[in-house]
Amino acid sequence: MKNILSIDDLANDEISAVLDNAARIKSEGVRGTELAGRIAALLFFEPSTRTRLSFASAAQRLGMGVIGFDDPATSSAAKGESLTDTIQVVQTYADLIVLRHPRAGAAHEAAGVAAVPLVNGGDGGREHPTQTLYDLFTVRERFGRLDGLRVGFYGDLRFGRAANSLALALSRFGAELTWIAPADLQPAEEVVAAVRGRGAATATAERPAEVLSGLDVLYVSRPQRERWPAAMAPELPPVTRELLGRAPEQLLVLHPLPRTDELAVDVDADPRAGYFQQVANGVPVRMAVLRQLLAG
């Protein structure tokens, strides 16, 4: 495995291997120098808190150095440098590149000119594979398996890359998926076709209350207003603790974060809220990814 551009770059057994490795890292509290002397470049052309800081934390916990930028206005992109030129330069400074970019397809374009491993840290509304890895890790940690779970996605499923990537992954593990969103925010045709093409059972609903009782996981994601066409203003009523009154006791509520109004703060006190464990799992999972791409 050279790059992680899409969750589909990893076969199911490779996903399991990364998650097993992350579980060992988490339980043993790994810190060390095993990747000392290596450098990760974090190139963020779009805002980020979790992805950038957890990759930096993961790299440093393995002894790596970290370089990069978090605002393209401070890089030569502001002078008109192309993405591929930037990548060709940075690959001479670093052993691995994590790229976040507002344009779908940017990670594949960058990987085309990168001689070092490239990780897609989110490109447009398309994919966010390392988010998916720690989403899967969190699901497996709770249920002990990835197979055959009933997962509802609620929120912006058209422009939200975290939900897209996770749906693509879960459809390979025999999940039953329910897309819960108003018509404007239902997933793009190609995502629906890809998921169905893998034999996953799918359904749609408009409101979580319609389907909550039959779910193992409710994956909530925020309205991605920065990617909406100008006239769009769909409503996403919040998931509240009161709403969860109708949900099964073993439901796992996940959210890639950041949250806005689609998930009420009162859910945090509910034992079914799993999103802060989920975000904490980002570090061991990203450590496992760095090991996988750089070991040897």
Q: List interacting residues with ligand NCD (CB under 6 A).
A: 50-51, 122, 128, 131, 160-162, 221-222, 256-257
CB of 120 to ligand NCD, least distance (A): 11
Q: Which residues pair with 44 in a beta bridge?
A: 100
Structure tokens at 139: 């699901």
Cα angle 99, 104, 106; round to 5: 40
Closest to 100 measured CA to CA, from 129, 76, 136, 137: 129
Smaller CB separation from ligand NCD, 89 or 232: 232
Supply angle C-alpha 192, 196, 197, rounded to 5: 115
Our CB check for ligand NCD shows the closer of 91 and 107 to be: 107
Cβ neighbors of 165 (< 8 A, separation 6 or more) are 6, 7, 127, 128, 129, 131, 132
**Secondary structure E strands in 164-257:** 176-180, 201-205, 217-221, 252-254
* Burial bucket for residue 167 (CB in 10 Å: 0-12, 13-18, 19+): buried
The CB-nearest residue to ligand NCD is 256
Task: Tell me how far apart the alpha carbons of residues 83 and 68 are, in angstroms, rounded to a whole number.
Answer: 14
**50 is annotated as an active-site residue:** yes
Active site residue 172: no
We find the least distance from the C-beta atom of residue 156 to ligand NCD, in angstroms, to be 8
Element (H, E) at 208: none
SS3 204: strand
Question: Would you say 120 or 171 has its CB closer to ligand NCD?
Answer: 120
Structure tokens at 4: 């992680």
Nearer CB in complex with ligand NCD: 131/178: 131
Beta bridge partners of 154: 180, 220
Question: Is residue 225 annotated as part of the catalytic site, yes or no?
Answer: no
Does residue 2 carry a catalytic annotation?
no
In the bound state with ligand NCD, the residue whose beta carbon lies nearer, of 21 and 54, is 54
Is 84 noted as a catalytic residue in this protein? no
Catalytic residue among 128, 140, 142, 172: 128
* Closer residue to ligand NCD (CB): 68 or 160: 160
The residues annotated with a catalytic role in the active site are 50-51, 79, 100, 128
